């Protein structure tokens, strides 16, 4: 202990860390929501495995926070299994899976939908979660760990008209998968939940907005637009840190009696007739 640090304060600082000694795998952890979660989990005492296809970004982040990095294409079951195995080899247990990796889908009419694009997106957004839950559950059951599995869905999985047909399909299916997995695994003390963010100005959303607003569109512009039109908390858009905090809560014992839950992080958007909110102003 450092000189001048009160023992009571030191104990309080340790107890304030909500994931001390926990081992977490985060898919899509190299940037955006996943990177914010990796940093926050590590700050809260977790041993983090970052799994992604962005090798340079992932390796740099892992080194900076004392984590481990592994190349992982979640569409490939063997890659996901290897990420889980890395956690077990490194620390002998798995307590948390944040199954966060995903991609956007092309817009267009349902009448002209490209089935190859459907298969590609489903292989990542939906089957990536199936692979993650399958192998995380196996590890947790084998080691008798009462762990936490968290999937990333979307407000587009809760209500229609917010994103492309393919993307919305995949995100709604994740919610269904989460609920049925929670039913099976709950008897073993394993919790399975979802986070459904709305319009977080991550790289994925900014890229989508650039299709309509131009290639020079900046994240802060998207954040301002979302804050004005996509939230009851006017002027306030969600951030990747907001989503990371939600993941931290669901991963921790603070959420020890929460399972089969879809935590919608949308500033009230999906629960309101947002276009008529001027009535109250």
- Give per-residue pLDDT as tens, 189-232: 999 999 999 878 766 666 665 555 566 666 666 666 665 666 77
Give CA–CA dist 59/68, Å, rounded.
Answer: 8
Considering only the top CATH level, what class is 17-198+238-262?
alpha beta
Q: How far is CA 233 from CA 54, 195, 222, 230, in A?
A: 34, 19, 16, 9
What does the pLDDT profile of the chain (281 residues) look like in tens digits? 444 545 444 444 545 799 999 999 999 999 999 999 999 999 999 999 999 999 999 999 999 999 999 999 999 999 999 999 999 999 999 999 999 999 988 888 999 999 999 999 999 999 999 999 999 999 999 999 999 999 999 999 999 988 889 999 999 999 999 999 999 999 999 999 999 998 787 666 666 655 555 666 666 666 666 656 667 787 777 889 999 999 999 999 999 999 999 999 998 888 876 544 433 34
Ranges of each domain in the chain:
17-198+238-262
pLDDT value of position 86 = 98
3-state secondary structure of 44: coil
| Pair 68, 49: CB distance under 8 Å | yes
3-state secondary structure of 53: coil
CA trace torsion 255, 261, 262, 264 (10° rounding): -50
Q: Is 47 designated active site?
A: no
Q: How many CB atoms lie within 10 A of CB 278?
A: 7
Give CA–CA dist 270/160, Å, rounded.
Answer: 10
Q: Which of 47, 167, 209, 280 is catalytic?
A: 167
Q: pTM above the 0.85 mark?
A: yes
């Amino acid at each position: 202990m450092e000189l001048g640090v009160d023992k009571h304060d030191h104990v309080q600082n340790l107890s304030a860390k909500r994931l001390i000694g926990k081992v977490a795998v985060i898919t899509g952890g190299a940037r955006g929501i996943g990177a914010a979660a990796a940093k926050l989990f590590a700050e809260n005492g977790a041993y983090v495995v970052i799994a992604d296809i962005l090798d340079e970004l992932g390796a740099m982040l892992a080194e900076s926070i004392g984590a481990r990095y592994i190349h992982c294409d979640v569409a490939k079951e063997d890659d996901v299994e290897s990420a889980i195995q890395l956690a077990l080899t490194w620390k002998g247990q798995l307590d948390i899976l944040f199954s966060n990796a995903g991609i956007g889908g092309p817009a267009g009419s349902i009448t002209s939908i490209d089935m190859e694009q459907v298969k590609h997106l489903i292989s990542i957004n939906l089957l990536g979660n199936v692979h993650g839950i399958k192998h995380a559950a196996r590890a947790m059951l084998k080691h008798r760990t009462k762990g936490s599995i968290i999937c990333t869905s979307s407000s587009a999985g809760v209500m229609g008209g917010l994103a492309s047909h393919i993307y919305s399909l995949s995100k709604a299916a994740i919610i269904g998968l989460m609920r049925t997995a929670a039913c099976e695994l709950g008897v073993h003390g394993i919790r399975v939940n979802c986070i459904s963010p709305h319009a977080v100005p991550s790289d994925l959303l900014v890229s989508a907005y650039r299709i309509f607003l131009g290639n020079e569109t900046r994240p802060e512009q998207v954040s301002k637009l979302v804050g004005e039109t996509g939230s009851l908390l006017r002027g306030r858009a969600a951030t990747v840190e907001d989503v990371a905090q939600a993941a931290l809560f669901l991963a921790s014992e603070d959420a020890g009696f929460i399972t089969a839950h879809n935590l919608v992080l949308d500033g009230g958007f999906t629960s309101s007739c947002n276009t008529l909110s001027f009535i109250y102003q």
